[in-house]
């Protein structure tokens, strides 16, 4: 990563899209996944989103144990408090944020996170409490519109949904369906399904996804 950062024309952002903790090798799992957070801090991550494995030990541990140790924020625009359809406010003490607005070499860049709607089916009962997951498409578009109004020149959505079929440049699957309905978004960084994707969709959104476990990353 340092080598590629040195090749960059200016500032570099390093992001991933959920599931960096949970279902991890024993060297991390036996220590409550704290080693994973320490490694992500050392690598200099800018942001992460929230996937199903983030809640393997429950939302309380995720936001009370792991997130406070991270030098980067967790993002999800469609993870909301139960009974409330509003994204978590951008407050300094919030356990996670819907988005970030960053200055990258003088350009305002928005980062929006989103979570997979099937988290309740992939975790134990009550693991998400007191949150629930709403439809990512409208939530990400609404957040993108807000960031554009705040001056964002480019918007990246990082979400824990992936492709399930097709090929590298013509993928199909849940994240493709969501990306096709988004507005005001330039790039979607996907995850979750261990597929390699690098495509430009009909709505001109670029969609990328990488193989799991650090086999590849997209520059």
Chain centre distance of CA 144? 14
Q: What is the pTM of this model?
A: 0.94
**Structure tokens that stand for 77 in this block:** 């625009």
**Distinct helix (H) and strand (E) counts, the chain:** 7, 13
| Residue written as token pair 């096709």 | 180
Q: For residue 14, which of 72, 67, 69 has the smallest C-alpha distance? A: 72
Per residue in 80-138, pLDDT (tens digit) is: 998 766 666 666 678 999 999 999 999 999 999 999 999 999 999 999 999 999 999 99
Per residue in 196-212, pLDDT (tens digit) is: 999 999 999 999 999 98
Spatial contact of 191 and 163, defined as CB atoms under 8 Å apart? no
């Amino acid at each position: 990563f340092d080598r590629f950062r040195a090749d960059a024309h200016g500032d570099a952002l390093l992001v991933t899209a959920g599931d960096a903790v949970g279902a991890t090798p024993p060297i991390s799992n036996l220590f409550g996944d704290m080693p994973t957070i320490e490694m992500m801090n050392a690598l200099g991550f800018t942001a992460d989103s929230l996937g199903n494995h983030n809640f393997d030990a429950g939302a309380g541990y995720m936001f009370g144990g792991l997130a406070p140790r991270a030098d980067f924020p967790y993002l999800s625009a469609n993870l909301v408090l139960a009974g409330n359809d509003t994204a978590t406010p951008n407050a300094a003490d919030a356990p996670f944020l819907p988005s970030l607005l960053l200055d990258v070499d003088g350009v305002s860049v928005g980062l929006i996170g989103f979570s997979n709607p099937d988290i309740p089916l992939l975790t134990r009962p009550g693991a998400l409490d007191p949150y629930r997951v709403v439809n990512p498409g409208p939530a990400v578009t609404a957040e993108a519109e807000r960031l554009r109004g705040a001056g964002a020149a480019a918007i990246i959505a990082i979400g824990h949904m992936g492709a399930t079929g097709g090929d590298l440049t013509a993928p199909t699957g849940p994240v493709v369906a969501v990306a096709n309905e988004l507005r005001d978004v330039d790039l979607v960084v996907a995850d979750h399904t261990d597929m390699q994707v690098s495509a430009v969709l009909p709505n001109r959104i670029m969609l990328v996804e990488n193989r799991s476990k650090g086999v590849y990353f997209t520059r």
